[in-house]
Structure 1
C-alpha cells in the first residue's frame, strides 16, 4: 500500500510560500490606463461645455460684438468652432492608441495626445473671440 503524494501547495499552517511578484511593467500599465481615462473624461467634459457654449455664440452676430470671421455668411467657421474640439479629441485618441500600442511609448504618446487635443479647443476659442 502506497501513500498519495503531498499536494503541491503548502498546508494551511506555517509560513507558506512568498506571494508571487507582479509581472514586470504591470503597475505602470494600470497607472497609464487610469491617467488616460481621467484625461479622456476631462476632455469629454470640456468638449461638452464648449459645444453648449457654441450653441449660443452665434447670438452676438447681429451686434457689433460678433467677430467678422465667426459671423460670416457661409457658416463654415461656426462648424469649425462647434466640431473642432471633437475632431481634435478623436485625433488625440488615435495618437495615444497608436503611440502606446505600436511604438510602445505610452507616456510620450499621452503627452502628444494632450497637445493634439489642446489644438481643438484653442482653435474654437480663437475662432469665436478672434
Structure 2
C-alpha cells in the first residue's frame, strides 16, 4: 500500500503586535508638526517685518542697535529666527532619536527656538 505523504504543515504567522508606545509616537509627531508649522509661520512674519524695519532708521523711531552703520544687527534680526529654528529641529530630532527622550527634547527645542524671535524683537525694539 502506497500512501501519499500528508501535505506539509505551515503554521500561519501570528499577527504583528503593536509596537509599545506606538500611539505616543503618533501624538509626538502631530504635536511636533504643529509646533513646526507655528514656528515657520512666526518666522515668515518676522522676516517680512524685519525687511521693512529698517525704514525707520532715518527717523527718531529707529533704535541705535538696529540702525548702526554695519548692518550686522539687521542681519541678526532677519536671519536669527531661521538659524534658531534649524537648531531647534536638530535638537528635537537628535534628542528624540539618540537620547530616547522625545518630550524633553521637544521642550528643549521650543526653548532653543524661542531665543531667535526674542533676539530679533530685542534687537529692533531695544
Aligned residue among 81, 92, 105 for 1:96 = 92
* Correspondences of 1:1-130 after superposition (within 5 Å): 22-130=18-126
How many residue pairs align between the two structures? Answer: 122
User: Unpaired segments of 5 or more residues in structure 1?
Assistant: 10-18
Q: How far off is 1:21 after superposition?
A: 5.7
CA distance, structure 2, for counterparts of residue 106 and residue 24 of structure 1: 15
**SS at structure 2 position matched to 1:82:** helix
**SS at structure 1 position matched to 2:40:** helix
User: Unpaired segments of 5 or more residues in structure 2?
Assistant: none
CA distance, structure 1, for counterparts of residue 91 and residue 52 of structure 2: 31
CA distance, structure 2, for counterparts of residue 45 and residue 81 of structure 1: 16
Q: TM-score, normalised by structure 1?
A: 0.85
Structure 1 stretches (4+) deviating beyond 3 angstroms? 1-5
Q: TM-score, normalised by structure 2?
A: 0.88
Q: How far off is 1:22 after superposition?
A: 2.8
